[in-house]
Structure 1
């Protein structure tokens, strides 16, 4: 059984090697997406205003985007109020399904960039490469398969090397290269396996969820013909924002979704203080009717089911930002482990195959010599 599992472990790794290495490398970089963005695009992301500065009303900010870009409608909006990071408005071009992003100074109303494609910025392009391999739905399918294989590799590795503690910290430097690489493969694999299990489960879930969403909700969609807001223009989005803060105790809105498809409503995602470090900043939601502004639904993560809380935790578990810089460093470092595991694993696979071939050749040669002597 162990021998068969070892064989499937090797074949699975070889099958998924290239996309897995690409996903691993990009994922480790994306752990520091916010820091990289601030370094590369300070003029777009940094506002650096006084601590006493107040945000302008969302209605004013939305109007500023609309006035500057009349051929677009606002679809969603990232909300920040830390006096440092700018807001980001996600806008849809009229009579199309093309989305763009524009950065906005939420304290002055100034637009800090022109509309750019969702994958135009370096880290956004890197995120697309990580999630879809730049192959759209086909890449998402490949990513899901790779996540399943990575899950199998992590589990099978734990089973194969279940007695790892006997030589866990042993690296036989004086031995043959094959022995050293075997020790390294086991050590790194065991250390990284908990993180790899988390990444494979969370990543695989998001791939599956995206495929299900695309195939059920958008399978027969026509190109949108939106040329005006899909909500009553008399509604004050800022009023709904302020109302949302009163409906859920200590609710801080972080993301606004305006109706950009038929039958959508106005929804605020937000953060609430909890004792769970894995709750995301989008864990709670409040929804209002897009025509009347009446309350429709709310979801407080503190009252959610265990399943909903676990799924929400996938965001922080996948990106490793639940414990600040420390968890990011751990996730980024161990997220690179498939590169070392792939290199050492390929070497061990090659050496094992070569040794088996050489052994078979020696047996044939010996058999031939014995036959000649007998003859």
Structure 2
């Protein structure tokens, strides 16, 4: 494939997805620090003063159920940060829409009443980042845009491969077009590895989610409308939690999934002790029968193959939290790189377009003169 064709693919692909790609990248950079922003905006709702021990999960579940008698709890986030409030997902009876509240896990106090999953600013930004506010169609669109981001990274690196010889070259005193050209190549060269990771993992998540929705509801079937509790309310959630940590050695539960559709198990997702910094906090799973409470399966990520571990690593690679604050800062900054690339790229395209037209017209005249002679 010629460089000329690659350049056209790179240029026109960038122009085609420029605006939605900028929205996705800008919101993604902001969301790297989602909790920190929430803490600034609503500290009393998302932060708690830790005590030596949490309340029993059964006590907490009862407090949530009594405060929301028309809802059923379907998910529960147990954050690793002890000063971060629990996040509890609910579905109202007669609905299939998810909502959530925030709970002080030490005092059984509800810190924020039930709201939609897009109620607060950062929640709305997350939905904008994930679906462009277009629901299932947005899943597909954002996934395809992420694929284009990968294409832009690969073609850009190939087109400017010679730039690697002078990676730090930035002719600040040169003509503006040369300066923008250097800046575009410089930012692209440094940011492309991270952008390729973000593009690939984002495409994987969105397209697999879209495929799941398509598979589940291709025949027109609607999401299940919650009518009643779908698990045995005589089961002790705390007892199941404790058993999950016995079923898998060194298991620490971080998310509880309660049935929101008939036939589902109660599942405890969690983190296990491992030397792999890329394994996520939800990598291992213990499942219990929703009626009997018997263990139905265990999934220890440490016992899985390279493929399963690689797919699980996509979470930390996408969020950039695998090395703590330093990697998050880098991911935030590199996530902003497309704003520079878009500005410099469009400027160069507009500057050079008249030149290309004049060159094409000149070549056409020469061809005509040659035919006449």
Q: Deviations over 1:227-282 (max 9, x none)?
A: 32111121111100000111111111000001110110000000111111111110
Separation in 2, partners of 1:158, 1:81 = 39
| TM-score, normalising length: structure 1 | 0.94
Secondary structure of the structure 2 residue equivalent to 1:252: strand
Corresponding residue for 1:242? 242
1:3 and 2:4 aligned: yes
Partner of 1:356: 356
Q: Secondary structure at the match of 2:172?
A: coil
Q: Deviations over 1:285-324 (max 9, x none)?
A: 0000111111111111111121111111111100101111
Structure 1 contact 73–227 (Cα < 8 Å) conserved = no
Whole-Å separation in 1 of the counterparts to 2:327 and 2:31: 13
Secondary structure of the corresponding residue to residue 350 of structure 1: helix
Q: 1:339 offset after TM fit, Å?
A: 0.6
User: Within 2, Cα distance between the matches of 1:336 and 1:15?
Assistant: 19
Counterparts of 1:274 and 1:185 in 2: how far apart (Å)?
Answer: 40
CA contact (8 A) 1:86 1:104 kept: yes
Contact 2:85–2:102 (Cα < 8 Å) also in 1: yes
8 Å Cα contact 1:38-1:46 kept in structure 2: yes
Provide the rounded CA distance (Å) in 2 between the counterparts of 1:129 and 1:146: 14
Contact 1:91–1:101 at 8 Å: present in 2 too?
Answer: yes
1:58-73 alignment runs, 5 A limit: 58-73=57-72
- Mapped pair 1:300 → 2:300: yes
1:221 correspondence with 2:221: yes
SS at match of 1:278: coil
Match of 2:344 in 1: 344
Please name the residue that 1:120 is paired with.
119
State the TM-score, normalizing by the size of structure 2: 0.95
> What count of residue pairs does the alignment treat as equivalent?
369
Taking the aligned partners of 2:151 and 2:293, their CA distance within structure 1 comes to 48
Counterpart residue number, 1:157: 156
Tell me which stretches of 4 or more aligned residues in structure 1 moved more than 4 Å: 360-368
Q: CA RMSD in A?
A: 1.9
Judge conservation of contact 2:85–2:103 (CA < 8 Å) in 1. Answer: yes
Deviation at 1:360, TM superposition (A): 4.6
Aligned equivalents of 1:8, 1:355: Cα separation in 2 = 19
Q: Deviations over 1:165-224 (max 9, x none)?
A: 222111112221111111111111110110011001100001111101111123343453
User: Which residue of 2 is the match for residue 106 of structure 1?
Assistant: 105
Q: Secondary structure of 1:153's partner?
A: helix
Question: What stretches of structure 2 of length at least 5 have no aligned partner?
Answer: none
What secondary structure does 1:107 align onto? Answer: coil
Q: Any idea what SS the aligned residue of 1:163 has?
A: helix
